């Protein structure tokens, strides 16, 4: 079974890592991370476990169906000046809370 590339992208952004930073944690290049996130390639089982550990998530989380539940307003004035990177992390965390 393959990991869900959208889950990988969402987890990385929500945890606030760049592709390069995640690659450093698991000893892979930025381009390898990019290929995994676009679904062009799949990580081997050992790399998938390293990803889960680096992002502090259970491995099973990456195999779940991705739900695009972007149907609500999450941005407030205090968030208006936040960087796009921080906005993506906030949006991801709120999405995870909805899934619980």
Q: What pLDDT score was predicted for residue 38?
A: 96
Q: What pLDDT score was predicted for residue 79?
A: 56
**Closest of 9, 11, 22, 29 to residue 50, by C-alpha:** 22
Contact 4/66 with Cβ under 8 angstroms? yes
Write out pLDDT tens, residues 65-87.
876 655 555 455 555 556 777 77
Mean pLDDT of 49-54: 96
Q: What pLDDT score was predicted for residue 70?
A: 56
The full set of domains in the chain, from first to last, is 1-65+76-100 (1.10.260.40)
Q: What pLDDT score was predicted for residue 41?
A: 96
């Amino acid at each position: 079974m393959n990991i869900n590339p959208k889950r990988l992208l969402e987890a990385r952004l929500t945890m606030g890592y760049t592709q390069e930073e995640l690659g450093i944690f698991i000893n892979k290049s930025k381009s390898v991370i990019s290929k995994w996130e676009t679904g062009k390639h799949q990580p081997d089982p050992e790399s998938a476990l390293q990803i889960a550990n680096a992002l502090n998530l259970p491995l099973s989380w990456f195999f779940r169906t991705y739900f695009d539940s972007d149907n609500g307003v999450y941005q407030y004035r205090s968030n208006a000046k936040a960087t796009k990177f921080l906005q993506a992390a906030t949006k991801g965390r709120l999405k995870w809370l909805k899934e619980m």
